[in-house]
Structure 1
């Protein structure tokens, strides 16, 4: 008997083949996957354990900055005057709170994949399905090719923090707390954004409190506490215990339990490279990277979300990202001309003070030195290929995702003369607690095609090269389909390895084979995201000699945002990607490939 989730993805394959496998930025940072989320509606503090994926994340001892946390940047508000920092921060905060209230009240529209939106994504169908008993609603949706996706991660979006512990971290959630954490210039502020009855504070009051914080001239602390979460997790765990022992339990509790962290930066964004560095890691002073997410708003209104990855992946973050952008731009809580409420914010906004002894000061100093030296090694650059995008490629009956992935293979071959292990995320959210599976874009087909374009283009006609692209596209669609249906090999092999270790068995020979190590040394780590709300997104490489490749295929252009450490040359790689895309488009237009 065919299982319904598998049937879903068999049906979904036509859509996937045209648009790529992702619903956002599902897990770019490790080759083996994500953790399942805990139970929805969790009240009070919790440290729920949900199996091997959580163990993998929470046991990792490397700094979460660059190694795990990615970012997604919002497009500007289409109304230019609404991009004032205070106005935009207020509207984004209010929209995030509306999302949280809808989620917790059970009123948030479910995440649904519509194969036939003309039938299922309509007000009429939604009215009907509400009348169907919950036990039968799934089948009612199934009859019109609408499939609900897993949303069990969503409760960790708010009031959640990753707590450092020796050997293995914990996830903490306290939905009872009502306050927002605001960071500005390395200083910590909190104020309630919900009243005693759980209602969202009036926008004019949030406006007033944020204006008060922006007017505070407090200098950056001599020892900025925010450097500590950028440390090795065991080091940070020890320093956190020192903070607790030194009388900071109440202040740390406010940080941990805050609804989310709003970061107000005191400078404008100069260009896309500056944007990526700012939103991916910043200067270490004005972020709390352990929070479920940081909502960052720069002086000129540029905004982004940087999120911690242990609790969930980009599917959940993209949902709140899209909803917050839409709500804040279409139904903003305040206008640029709005006046803040006549309240005494000095009595409402609490500035958190931390008691630091010599051990803590020395720890912050060391963390800053390590952070600064590491960030200096990261290079980020981007391109926008303007000759065409999704519409052009679909017109020629090629998968846009497959074509862009092929361009990465061609680019690396052109730059370094070889092909390498490549990772691409694929969402499996149609399964209960589904997270991601790996697509392996590097194949015998992409290798043959890449060598034909890069080394032997004069030996082939445009039609022959086009046929090679078609083979790559067809096989990539198959890989995507298999990954989405839970038929990829990466998660299965990881689970078997985990079980062997858990039962005390000797590690099977497969895992000791150099080939297994090589295929998991992902030099090209890639992830795609596409949304009208997103300006750009990105992440760091997963290995020292790798590239972190974020990309999006839009209707009429293709964007790539790539990072590397000194072992690789980002600018040259992007030039090779641009050349590869140009060659592919030439072939599809019947033009010769230029050397």
Structure 2
């Protein structure tokens, strides 16, 4: 897109004109790292970190060689961003299980059209399939309007990962099987999805031979065929996708070696447009639905699939997403499209036509006793892992973005400082806090890592709990911390943040240090500043959409609370997760969060009421 021209209406029409992600200077990132970690360190720790940073960036030092290599890479032909290699290493290089640890979910709003339906599950699932097919066909023709932010187009590259994308486990690093690639040019031409029910897997051909979708009635008929499956497989192979990645890679090779038919079955799963997981349970409440979406029914999932639509017996629905190529903002836009219009309208727009009931064929795997044991053990281990996870929902009907704006404060700053206050009051200290900041206004932009704890945030929590501090001092500390939060968020949006930059320098050293003459390990990455700043006690991310009730993911460490929140104009919903052994701290945090949100509203409301009185 040229700045002198209107943005292109084509889905990918603006990519070449987007600005590149700026590569920070080594000096700037080292200075920012020191600033960012300082509030969490004592004087000795800060001095140790400062000395390591000075050594890292000295003339002729290791940082200079690594930065020069990153600059060379950033200027190379075909490279879209200096982060092009970082993202695969970050996501595909992790070796633990991705189920619960990396995948995230959205719980959809209810569909009022299902009220009184005799078969809400079938109707909801058929409608979601029809809407997804309409989106897919429009995406193929680049008729999905580019997302914008304040009138500026955003990168839409992540949309190429929505359909027929599957993560493939590897011993050292995973790979991705994906369309729009050299191995698979252009959009996916697959015509099928995979439908799960009670651990059974079925190929369902949702697009006819001519590429047109089946009608809603025909899709519903196919789903009823799936629901008639009586047999529960002794060893549902979906359990394997819950394993640590190297273990899953070994099991996948064993599947392929055991029987040639298993390769065809894997191919059907991996090339499918997406998965639909039908559950034969109705959630007890929102928390139960969220937990099921995050880590339930592992034999009834393929956690490596980019998109899995999950529909419960009562029509409650949501989505589980594999994170390597997709961030929350892209999935939000996708979900808004699925739920923003009646399914009938989307089916009609897609050109759906009656073609008879879609072909439904079981997908089976040949297993010997050894493989059956691997599958069963994986299922049992993941069930135990899920049971060792504690979760809670916190809902506010009296607070939302509009309320924050009436109080003249940034909504995100308000809730982030409420988290800090609640954490200090529940655990007795302030810990490192991560917030994801979207950067899709850059070419191939994804997210930046923001660290929430600033000196102003530290002072805020101290003043709020100082019995000698008056109301005016408390408000001043709150507003100063909110302003500092907004400034740092803007820096991150501009690409002025240290963590991912320095992390990529570390990864370059690990990959090519010997070749570049940079021996490792590097002392900087063992310092208190680097270690403490990145040890999350709160890992937070926001998903604002009227079409979802909750958003969620797992915690990132043994003492971390995952904080996924939906902040809308009129409400604020939070899903919390943490290891069960520290569940007490999470439940206390939830209670303190409720108190903090009320207290901070009252603090700012009294100011505006006073000002209103003065003006009168």
Alignment of 1:410 with 2:424, yes or no, is: no
Aligned residue for 2:494? 485
CA distance in 2, matches of 1:557, 1:180: 35
What corresponds to 2:220 in structure 1?
A: 207
Please say if residues 547 and 568 of structure 1, whose CA atoms lie closer than 8 Å, have aligned partners that are also in contact: no
1:46 paired residue number: none
Partner of 1:103: 139
Distance in 2 (alpha carbons) for counterparts of 1:274 and 1:7: 40
Q: Which residue of 2 aligns with 1:183?
A: 196
Which one is further off, 440-449 or 287-296?
440-449
Q: Name the counterpart of 1:198.
A: 211
Contact 2:127 2:344 in 1 (8 A): no
2:479 corresponds, among 460, 463, 470, to: 470
Pick from 480, 493, 510: which aligns with 2:524? Answer: 510
- Deviates further, 308-317 or 84-93: 308-317
* Partner SS state of residue 380, structure 2: helix
Distance 2:205 2:344 in 1: 25
Contact 2:390/2:583 (CA < 8 Å) preserved in 1?
A: no
Is residue 163 of structure 1 aligned with residue 176 of structure 2?
no
Q: What's the CA shift for 1:556? A: 2.8
Structure 1 residue aligned with 2:79:
none
**Secondary structure class of the residue paired with 2:308:** strand
Query: In the alignment, which residue of structure 1 is the partner of 2:582?
Result: 567
Aligned to 2:230: 218
- Residue aligning to 2:108: 74
Task: Name whichever of 414-423 and 463-472 sits farther off.
Answer: 463-472
Q: Secondary structure at 1:590's aligned position in 2?
A: helix
Is residue 21–residue 445 contact of structure 2 (8 Å, CA) maintained in 1?
no
Equivalent residue for 1:435?
A: 446
1:231 aligns to what? 243
Contact 1:276 1:380 in 2 (8 A): no
2:99 matches 1:65: yes
Aligned to 1:269: 283
SS in 2 for 1:327: coil
Paired residues of 2:101 and 2:554 also in contact (CA < 8 A) = yes
Give the structure-1-normalised TM-score: 0.82
User: Shift of the alpha carbon at 1:56?
Assistant: 2.3
- 1:359 Cα shift? 1.9
Q: Which residue of 2 aligns with 1:583?
A: 599
Match of 1:243 in 2: 255
1:85 is matched with which residue?
Answer: 121
Deviation by residue 1:372-399 (Cα, 9 ceiling, x = unmatched): 1111111111111233221121112101
CA RMSD in angstroms comes to 2.4
SS in 1 for 2:563: strand
Are residues 330 and 74 of structure 1, via their aligned partners in 2, closer, same or farther at CA, if it must alter by over 3 Å? farther
Distance in structure 2 (CA, Å) of the matches to 1:227 and 1:437: 32
Q: Secondary structure at the match of 1:79?
A: helix
Give 1:239 deviation, angstroms.
0.8
**Matches of 1:241 and 1:88 in 2, distance apart?**
36
Distance (whole Å) between structure 2 residues aligned to residue 294 and residue 555 of structure 1: 28
Task: Give the secondary-structure state (helix, strand or coil) at the position aligned to 1:388.
Answer: coil
**Residues 332 and 354 of structure 1: is their aligned pair in 2 closer, same or farther, counting only changes over 3 Å?**
same
Q: Which residue of 1 aligns with 2:557?
A: 543
Deviations 1:521-576 (A, max 9, x none): 11100011111111111111000111000112222332211111122422211001
Structure 1 residue 490: Cα displacement: 1.2
Q: How many residues align?
A: 511
Distance 2:487 2:344 in 1: 39
**Aligned-partner Cα distance in 1 for 2:313–2:91:** 34
Cα distance, 1:177 vs structure 2? 1.6
Structure 2 unmatched runs, 5+ = 4-16, 23-73, 75-82, 180-187, 608-616
Q: Distance in 1 between matches of 2:382 and 2:196?
A: 18
Question: For 1:108-507, what aligned pairs fall within 5 Å after superposition?
Answer: 108-113=144-149, 115=150, 146-174=151-179, 175-214=188-227, 216-247=228-259, 248-328=262-342, 331=345, 333=347, 343=356, 348-454=359-465, 456=466, 458-504=467-513, 505-506=518-519, 507=521
Structure-1 separation of matches of 2:322 and 2:198: 21
Identify if the C-alpha distance between structure 1 residues 258 and 7 changes in structure 2 by more than 3 Å, giving closer, same or farther: closer
Give the match for residue 43 of structure 1. Answer: none
Offset of residue 333 of structure 1: 4.3
The 2-side partners of 1:486 and 1:198 are apart by 42
